[in-house]
């Protein structure tokens, strides 16, 4: 919830206050990335046990923790015990860090909040980490007083927005909107145009539906080979070309039986 609030307060309100959820490719990809840590595994040791050398390197998956002080519950993808006895929350994200190698603000605040929840449970936490699946790298976030104070203020701002019956105004001409799963419900450009909030007076961006033209291709010729050449899907059997289709017209390829596909 906090991640989405930082990404867009209106998105947070539509989903978590009004219960208007929708999915898209990005959401499904994120769920797929999380599959490796969604199954609970391992037990996080008690705070007074983490300094044991025998526990260094222990990991626990899908760890629930609650902070009464913050009023927040967190499901932490992975918790690792470091050699110095501290613990490190690791959050799994699809995609990559920003161009400077830093975590995105919404991802960062979520990881910092997980660290604060563990601190309130009695653990020593000096850093949090985010694993970005596409770039296959971890990004380390130091947990200092400044970032902790900023995160607590974010939670307070979230509660204020959640207490309102009306959702916040949409973002204006934001690159976040086209790939948002709720863009067809939020309608940011349309609402801004009606309220004359677009500073440049531009017309609303079009919501482009998925292309219904591509069709499935069923290949049943036994011993045939499927390949792609010059933007076309081609089917051969013993050097004889059986068919050739424009790749842009193909929605999916269904192979039935002894049919091979080239790399």
pLDDT in tens, 231-253: 999 999 998 999 999 998 998 99
Tens digit of each residue's pLDDT (9 = 90 or more) over 131-167 = 998 899 999 999 999 999 999 999 999 999 999 999 9
pTM above 0.75, yes or no: no
Look up the CATH number of the domain holding residue 257.
Answer: 3.100.10.20
Compute and round to an integer the Cα radius of gyration of the chain. 24
pLDDT of residue 37: 74
Tell whether 28 and 153 lie within a shared domain: yes
User: Do 225 and 144 belong to one domain?
Assistant: no
Q: Are residues 184 and 156 part of one domain?
A: no
Answer yes or no: are the C-beta atoms of 37 and 62 closer than 8 Å: yes
Residues 202 and 100 in one domain: no
Indicate the helix (H) or strand (E) that contains 118.
Answer: helix 105-120
Residues 87 and 118 in one domain: yes
d(CA 113, CA 138): 17
When comparing pLDDT for 147 and 199, which is higher?
147
Domain around 248: 215-261
Strand partners, 261: 226
CA gap 1, 155 in Å, rounded: 10
Number of C-beta neighbours around residue 32 at 10 A: 11
Residue 110 confidence (pLDDT): 95
Token code pair at residue 94: 């699809």
- Same domain? For 72 and 20 the reply is yes
Query: Ramachandran region of residue 49, left (φ > 0), alpha (ψ -120 to 50) or beta?
Result: alpha
Same domain, 63 and 146: yes
Q: Name the domain count of the chain.
A: 3
What is the pLDDT, as a whole number, of residue 257?
95
Residues 81 and 120 in one domain: yes
175 shares its domain with 155: no
């Amino acid at each position: 919830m906090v991640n989405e609030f930082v990404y867009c307060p209106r998105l947070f309100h539509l989903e978590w206050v009004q219960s208007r959820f929708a999915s898209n490719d990005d959401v499904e990809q994120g769920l797929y990335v999380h599959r490796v840590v969604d199954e609970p595994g391992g037990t996080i040791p008690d705070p007074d046990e983490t300094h044991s050398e025998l526990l260094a390197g222990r990991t626990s998956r899908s760890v629930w923790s609650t902070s009464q002080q913050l009023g927040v519950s967190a499901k932490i993808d992975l918790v690792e015990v470091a050699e110095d006895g501290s613990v490190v929350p690791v959050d799994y994200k699809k995609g990559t860090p920003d161009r400077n190698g830093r975590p995105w603000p919404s991802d960062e605040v979520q990881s910092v909040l997980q660290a604060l929840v563990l601190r309130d449970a009695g653990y020593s936490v000096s850093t949090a980490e985010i694993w970005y699946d596409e770039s296959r790298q971890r990004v380390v976030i130091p947990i200092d007083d400044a970032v902790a104070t900023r995160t607590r203020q974010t939670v307070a701002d979230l509660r204020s927005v959640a207490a309102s019956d009306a959702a916040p105004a949409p973002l204006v001409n934001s690159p976040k909107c086209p790939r948002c799963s709720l863009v067809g419900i939020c309608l940011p450009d349309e609402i801004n145009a009606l309220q004359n909030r677009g500073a440049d007076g531009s017309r609303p961006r079009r919501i482009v539906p998925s292309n219904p033209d591509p069709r499935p291709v069923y290949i049943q010729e036994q011993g045939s080979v499927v390949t792609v050449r010059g933007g076309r899907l081609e089917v051969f059997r013993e050097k004889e070309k059986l068919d050739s289709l424009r790749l842009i017209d193909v929605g999916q390829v269904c192979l039935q039986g002894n049919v091979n596909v080239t790399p």
